[in-house]
Each structure stands twice: as structure tokens, then as C-alpha cells.
Amino acid sequence: MPRPKQFRTIAKPPAMLGFKPFGIPRTELESVTLSYDEYETIRLLDYEGLMQGQAAERMNVSRPTLTRIYEKARKTIAKAFVESKMIVIEGGNVDFGRKWYRCRKCHKLIDGVENHDHSKNCVIFGNEELTIIK
């Protein structure tokens, strides 16, 4: 029986839910899934330019585990680009450190119900307009 996966520490969920190829209707696209931990490895290594050891510490995983996650993320993104597939970012064994929400009206990422800016056209009636990110 394999050992249960450890929770990977993620700073915060991505601002977007995914990406799709330009010019192709969503209904005609297949999708691939990029997990939150795969997204985080791309963010830490490629965007922030951290060394693998530093990124592994931030995510609370070993360096070899980080490398495996990173390779899987790169293959997923390459498959989406080459085969014109939509990328959906969701899932994985992750710990965001606190509860994050996404407003269904303005689509902003919120790190607590009390931190939502009720400006412009966004009106929240209780918590009905917020989706918790898991």
C-alpha cells in the first residue's frame, strides 16, 4: 500500500482558473488538468527564478519530489500547446495556509470574506456570491 501524499504548501491559488487557445470555441476543446502544486512549481522556478532547493523548502517537499512535479507540469503545458488543448488549473494535495475564496461576480481572489472590496458592481449577499477554493 503506497504511503499517503503529503500536503504541498502553496502561497495562494492562481488568479485564473485556466487558459484556452485563442480563436477556438471552448465547446470544441479538450482539456488537460494542471494541479495547484504543478502550477506552484512553474511559478516558483520559472516565474520567480528560485533554485529547486529553495522552491522545495517553500512547498514543504523534497527536492526530488519537486523535480517530479515540475516535469509533470512542463509535460502537461507542452501537451496543451502542441495539441491545442485547454488548461484547467485545479486539484492536488495542497495547503493554502488559510481559506481562499473567489467572488462569483467580480472573479477576484479573496483571502477571507472580510477582505472583499464591495466596490463597483460587486455586491455580496452573505456568502452566496463566494466560492471557496479547495
Same domain membership, residue 17 and residue 48: yes
Q: Is 10 exposed, middle or buried (0-12, 13-18, 19+ CB in 10 A)?
A: buried
Same domain membership, residue 105 and residue 88: no
Number of domains in the chain: 2
Same domain membership, residue 74 and residue 61: yes
Same domain membership, residue 70 and residue 123: no
pLDDT in tens, the chain (134 residues): 777 777 888 888 888 888 999 988 888 999 999 999 999 999 999 999 999 999 999 999 999 999 999 999 999 999 999 999 999 998 888 777 777 777 776 667 777 666 555 554 454 545 555 555 65
CB neighbour list of residue 85: distance below 8 Å, 6 or more residues apart: 21, 29, 30, 31, 32, 79
Same domain membership, residue 109 and residue 83: no
pLDDT in the model for residue 125: 46
Of 62, 65, 74, 68, nearest in space to 34 by CA: 74
pLDDT in the model for residue 113: 60
- How open is the CA angle 8-102-15, to the nearest 5 degrees? 60
pLDDT in the model for residue 114: 60
Same domain membership, residue 85 and residue 29: yes
pLDDT in the model for residue 108: 72
Element (H, E) at 73: helix 63-82
Element (H, E) at 70: helix 63-82
pLDDT in the model for residue 54: 96
Domain that includes residue 134, residue range: 98-134
